[in-house]
Structure 1
Amino acid sequence: MAEYAARYAEERHWDVFPGTWLERVDGSPVLRCSCGDARCEAPGAHPLDGRWSGDATGSATAARRMWAKVPHASVLLPTGRTFDAVDVPETAGCLALARMERLALPLGPVTSTPDGRMLFLVLPGAAKKVPALVRGLGWSPGALDLATRGEGGWIAAPPTRMGTKGSVQWACAPTAANRWLPDVEEIVAPLAYAAGREAATARAS
């Protein structure tokens, strides 16, 4: 995990910080979050404590030092710094991704989580823009399963394992071609459209 964290810091200039991890209970096959809370809502994928914002670093050397102390720690990335993230259901995300590729829209890295979500990385500031943009497209923000993660938030980076469901993966991996992130204004329309279709399908069923 240390090398993944160092690579994100060195190659993408993303801040990183260690999170919790999964561990076995008394040698049994049962896995639990290292925080020890049996009811943990994000087992193996949340900050170690409330100091995470100040601990986050963009230095690969500092990242390796951090993970040397907690080698099994998950890799978490703070939002609101070098990027924000638009969070949608996986089905809507796949539809939006296909539409963006057909329209040749600019696209940044996209993660897929084992709990059925996709997160599209965009330039910082999206969290403040999205509600007005969605309303401008004719949708009520509250009617769509479309959220943003900005300042004060974080996302789990691949290959962080989340609970017993599996690991976070790249649906669209970081490459030289997507080093420059899109502004949310460039991709919000297909995301809102896809989230709207999913909402309509859910209501019909």
Structure 2
Amino acid sequence: MGVTEAAQIPKQRGEQLLDSAVRYAEERHWDVFPGTWLEAVEGAERCSCGAADCAAPGAHPARPDWATQATGSAVAARRIWGKQPKASILLPTGRTFDVLDVPESAGFLALARMERMELTLGPVTCTPDRRMMFFVLPGAAAKVPDLVRKLGWVPSSLDLVARGEGHYVAAPPTRVGGSGAVQWARRPTPANRWLPDAEELISPLAYACGREAAAARARRS
């Protein structure tokens, strides 16, 4: 019985990835493309790219032309993941959304403040390496540095990264390394189909990242 259950797990995992990729394309009109995946090698999980020192095991583009490979077609997504059921789901930024990427601790602090302020939020992910990704309207990457400066912060002093054209993020339920899967902190729903502008979220995010930076400096001193 245990053997049968173990044999079913990869199939169930593949179905979950396929269904999620199709749903992102069909319901959200997000472009998706397949990335690498994790494979069991000599009792350990390795990235399918084969590099022992891979920086993002199981969650990076498998091909250099990933930007042109991305598709918003649910039919194409079903075909791609039907052929590559273990492939990670990667979403290109700079198209239907950009992403504001912050440390998880700062992200949860900002999220609580945003909810108190009753701000409109888009989807938000948590990654296994303890980062949070806030989905915002495209164009954020170009204007975030100036928005941060206007709030009185030096952009390089904050661990706040805006990901736009030429970048991508891993989508749930993609697994990264041996540390777990990307998860939704705020799921995509009909209510958050309209994404906020970066200007609406930047103040609480910059404040939370500033607190994180100050706490880190205090720990070092």
Question: So what's the TM-score if we normalise by structure 1?
Answer: 0.98
SS of the residue aligned with 1:39? Answer: coil
- For 1:153-172, what aligned pairs fall within 5 Å after superposition? 153-172=167-186
Asked if residue 24 in structure 1 is aligned to residue 40 in structure 2, the reply is yes
Match of 1:126 in 2: 140
Asked if residue 145 in structure 1 is aligned to residue 159 in structure 2, the reply is yes
Match of 1:175 in 2: 189
Distance in 2 of aligned mates of 1:69 and 1:178: 31
CA apart distance, 1:45: 0.2
Distance in 1 of aligned mates of 2:191 and 2:146: 29
Instruction: Find 2:59's aligned residue among 10, 26, 45.
Output: 45
Q: Mark the structure with the bigger radius of gyration.
A: 2
Q: Which amino acid aligns with 1:154?
A: Y
Match of 1:12 in 2: 28
1:43-96, CA deviations, whole angstroms, 9 ceiling, x for partnerless residues?
000001111111100011000111122110000000000000000000000000
CA apart distance, 1:3: 1.1
Asked if residue 192 in structure 1 is aligned to residue 206 in structure 2, the reply is yes
SS of the residue aligned with 2:43? Answer: coil
RMSD of aligned residue pairs (Cα, Å):
0.5
CA apart distance, 1:107: 0.5
Q: Which amino acid aligns with 2:36?
A: T
Question: Which protein is richer in helix relative to its size?
Answer: 2
Distance in 1 of aligned mates of 2:163 and 2:43: 34
- For 1:37-116, what aligned pairs fall within 5 Å after superposition? 37-116=51-130
SS of the residue aligned with 2:75? Answer: helix
Distance in 2 of aligned mates of 1:68 and 1:174: 23
CA apart distance, 1:29: 2.4
Distance in 1 of aligned mates of 2:18 and 2:191: 25
Distance in 1 of aligned mates of 2:132 and 2:49: 25
Sequence identity, in percent? 69
Q: Which range moves more in the overlay, 116-125 or 66-75? A: 66-75
Match of 1:2 in 2: 18
SS of the residue aligned with 2:106? Answer: helix
Question: So what's the TM-score if we normalise by structure 2?
Answer: 0.91
Q: Which amino acid aligns with 2:156?
A: G
The alignment of Structure 1 onto Structure 2 pairs a total of residues equal to 203
Distance in 1 of aligned mates of 2:93 and 2:117: 27
Distance in 1 of aligned mates of 2:189 and 2:71: 21
